[in-house]
Structure 1
Amino acid sequence: MKSKVFFVLLVLCLSVTNIFAQDFNKQEFAARRAKLAEKIPDGIAIIFANREHVHPAHFRQSPDFFYFTGVEESDAVLVINGMSKTSAVFAGNRSEIKVMIEGPGLRNEEKAAEKYGFGVLPLESFYTYMLFMTGNAKKMYLPTGAQDELQKARDEILEGEMSGMSHPVFGGISEMRRGINRLREMFPNLEVEDVTPMIDDLRWVKSAYEIDRLRKSGKIGAEGFKEAMKGVKPGMYEYEIEAAAHYVYRKNGAREAFTPIVASGPNTITWHYGDNNRQMQDGDIVLMDYGCDYDYYTSDITRTWPVSGKFTAEQEKMYQCILEASKAIIAKMKPGVSIKELKDAAQVAYKKYGYENEFLALGRYIGHFIGISVHDVKNATDDVILKAGVVLNVEPIIEFRDKKIHMRLEDTILVTETGSENMTAGIPAELDQVYELIKQKRMN
């Protein structure tokens, strides 16, 4: 009986043809799975989809799961077999009433295996499959680190898990940890290794497919900023700026990449301020940090500008400092250059304007990597060496907390074979252009 069950599962898993939908790049995702399979010849990797949520927002797939599958199925499990070089997604079955209300899931979709390039199997058969397929395996590769999310890096998610454990009522290990522990218990003969570093190596360097989407995301993000900055004046509310950018994002088929930050006056010193409800005053500066999510690839832009149309002399000096630091970092970017060298280039600009101590006080921070997640895989530490295909968000900052003023500029920069490309250059940063943009009439 077990042999028959195994045969049926194997046939389903391998029943994939060369037919694929025009709007789904099956080869792109298959190539990613193949690269991971090559790294695990002695075992099986298991990657989890995000759980279905109840929030009034569009479902967004786990970045790791989406990276290898390109599908938005909730509660699914991806298995990549490094020994047989095959892959399967285990998905739940939707009831007729759920299909009628929400639409079909992966298992309700006709010829899903042909379209997506991997086997589609019942979620309830996951352990049966594992029992048969782990016979010759030595290792089980699990995400024992942390899964990142759209606006949270792996270490930020891990920090949240740790703090959540101390809650007096709801504290305890996360659902993800419980699942991993259960797999350890079910297959004690398999050595467990963290698959996360292997995934990070793959996700860090973007393919041509990914770069195309990042460019589009950057272009839409820049257009949103242009509209948001037009006609800003005292008496307006922060949420009016947010609304203009959001309209452009949605009109162009993109969604929010993270909770928008529109901070004016004293709100600027709260780095991730999100209330966006203050009425702006004469003499204020306003900072918007916002980005869009286009086909699962994000942009992240920050611009700082004067509400009254022109900076004071002190504000202008601060702005010119971070603008020059941004230019110096971008000019230095190319394959083979370290993050330390980029920080050194920025420090020259801060020192020139007399703000070196402020740069050092912020740990010489210059930005973060970006991709499927806003705070994408790998931390921008000094020893990291840039490669072609890596995308870094350049984000010089200056602040004086005692004066309640914080400025930053941020752009999404691709490392090319010979240098770099600013994928959010569509929104100006030069002061004369910023001043002219503010003068333009905004949408009603």
Structure 2
Amino acid sequence: MDKSTYIDNRKKFIETIENNSIVILFAGKPCKKTGDELYEFTPSRNFYYLTGIQEQEHILVLSKYKDVINEKLFLKDIDLDKEMWNGKTLRDSEGREISGIQDVVYIKDFNSYINRLVKGAEEINLYLDLDREDIDEADSIANIFAKEIKDKYPQLTIKNFSNKIAPLRMTKSEQEIEEMKKAIEITIDGVKSLMRNAKAGMKEYELEAYFDFECKTKGVKDFAFRTIAASGKNATILHYVENNSEIKDGDLILFDLGAQWNLYNADITRVFPVNGKFTDRQKEVYEAVLRVNKAVIDRIKPGIDSKELNIWARDLIAEECIKLGIIKEKSEVTKYYWHSIGHSLGLDTHDLGIHGREFIFTEGMVFTVEPGIYIGEESIGIRIEDDILVTKDGCEVLTKNMIKEISEIEEFMK
């Protein structure tokens, strides 16, 4: 994407911030893996959303006083010795070209700049990325910084900016949608490769390798998440990732996977019989899930409440479970279906949402639709997941080129 996207993202974001405020975003640093090796780095998605920069250790500072906005990008200091080992890092001219920020300096000036912004102020808001997934989660760079700077400048009011940026990230621009379409296109090619190469007797990870190969030959550097390759009863475990069981003749195999393109993600789930032919019972369960998948997609449009959609979808799945003879009362459905009907999709696989996952659908949102029924006692786990774009009066199925009808699957696998 070009820098106009990031310029526009910053403009929309800073409009949500009140006067007498500073916003600091850290690109992040990779964690140590072992010895002198680091885990592969991936940038803070909020930092990337506002700068377009994927390199580690840089810092973005936005400030707003009396409606005057300043943008300053701090690049990691140049270390020529390290560059001989690890390659060249960004220079100020490159930072300007990627982000559209004109005031680009180096981190050695960061502390003095923050002191000038805060010094003498009676009250000032400092916005940081302070979200946590769990209370036991290790402190992020922003969490550590918040503790340290509050001790030095007690006049600061520390605030989390997550609910400021979430509504912006949920609505995708045309350029963002194009990046996601590319990720989806590559993912579909990868799933077709899985279907072509599936054979009884393979290990799940052996078959998974065909997806990895297809993606990497098309330039994919990372995946949306760890691939789920779950055959037989393994498919009834929602986040099964061991992928080390033998695939047996007559098994269904569930693949939940996605390529990542320029940090934007695809997320598709498809289920198919390893021998190319569904049994009658497998067809029954598959068709039940497919009916719900189609019904939910048909229902999504601007104005629909995500919480109400989840309740409605759960009721549909309960009805299908009764027809399948696995429950008698709708209240029993949680034995065979226990997750939500979908999630926002974008720079994160479970993309930022407003107040968790409850929101009103609006044009430009990208959402997954993924009903499932998981029958452990029959070793049948079915989930069918599509990525949809909310349009002006309905939705577009971005994954429409990935077959999902039983007849199509069986014909393709011949």
TM superposition score normalised by structure 1: 0.83
Distance 1:277 1:36 in 2: 45
Distance 1:79 1:109 in 2: 15
1:330-363: CA deviation from partner (whole Å, max 9, x where unpaired): 1111101112443315633541452655644545
| Aligned partner of residue 136 in structure 2, secondary structure | helix
Q: 2:52–2:98: 8 Å Cα contact kept in structure 1?
A: no
Amino acid at match of 2:146: I
Aligned pair in 2 of structure 1 residues 266, 111: CA closer, same or farther (>3 Å)?
A: closer
Q: 5 Å matches for 1:15-34?
A: 25-34=2-11
Amino acid at match of 2:260: D
Question: Is 1:230–2:196 an aligned residue pair?
Answer: yes
Q: 5 Å matches for 1:101-250?
A: 101-106=85-90, 108=91, 110-118=93-101, 119-135=103-119, 138-146=124-132, 158-159=133-134, 162-164=135-137, 173=139, 175-250=141-216
Question: Is 1:295–2:278 an aligned residue pair?
Answer: no
Q: 1:397–1:407: 8 Å Cα contact kept in structure 2?
A: yes
Distance 2:62 2:258 in 1: 33
| Aligned partner of residue 319 in structure 2, secondary structure | helix
> Could you tell me which residue of structure 2 aligns to residue 347 of structure 1?
315
Q: 1:317–1:353: 8 Å Cα contact kept in structure 2?
A: no
* Cα offset, 1:104, TM superposition: 1.8
> Could you tell me which residue of structure 2 aligns to residue 45 of structure 1?
23
Q: 5 Å matches for 1:265-344?
A: 265-343=232-310, 344=312
Distance 2:216 2:332 in 1: 38
Q: 2:343–2:357: 8 Å Cα contact kept in structure 1?
A: no
Share of identical aligned residues, percent?
Answer: 31
Count the aligned residue pairs. Answer: 395
1:368-425: CA deviation from partner (whole Å, max 9, x where unpaired): 1110000111179785210011111111011123444321111111111121111122
Aligned pair in 2 of structure 1 residues 42, 363: CA closer, same or farther (>3 Å)?
A: farther
Distance 2:226 2:232 in 1: 19
Aligned pair in 2 of structure 1 residues 280, 202: CA closer, same or farther (>3 Å)?
A: same
Q: 2:321–2:333: 8 Å Cα contact kept in structure 1?
A: no
Distance 2:201 2:381 in 1: 21
* Cα offset, 1:195, TM superposition: 0.8
Q: 1:26–1:115: 8 Å Cα contact kept in structure 2?
A: yes
**Runs of 5+ in structure 2 lacking a partner?**
325-329
Aligned pair in 2 of structure 1 residues 93, 115: CA closer, same or farther (>3 Å)?
A: same
* CA RMSD between the two structures: 2.3
Question: Is 1:430–2:413 an aligned residue pair?
Answer: no
**Runs of 5+ in structure 1 lacking a partner?**
1-23, 147-157, 166-172, 440-444
Aligned pair in 2 of structure 1 residues 425, 333: CA closer, same or farther (>3 Å)?
A: same
Q: 2:163–2:355: 8 Å Cα contact kept in structure 1?
A: no
> Could you tell me which residue of structure 2 aligns to residue 401 of structure 1?
376
Distance 2:216 2:191 in 1: 13
Aligned pair in 2 of structure 1 residues 176, 37: CA closer, same or farther (>3 Å)?
A: closer
Distance 1:334 1:139 in 2: 37
Aligned pair in 2 of structure 1 residues 71, 214: CA closer, same or farther (>3 Å)?
A: same
| Aligned partner of residue 343 in structure 2, secondary structure | strand
Aligned pair in 2 of structure 1 residues 163, 57: CA closer, same or farther (>3 Å)?
A: closer
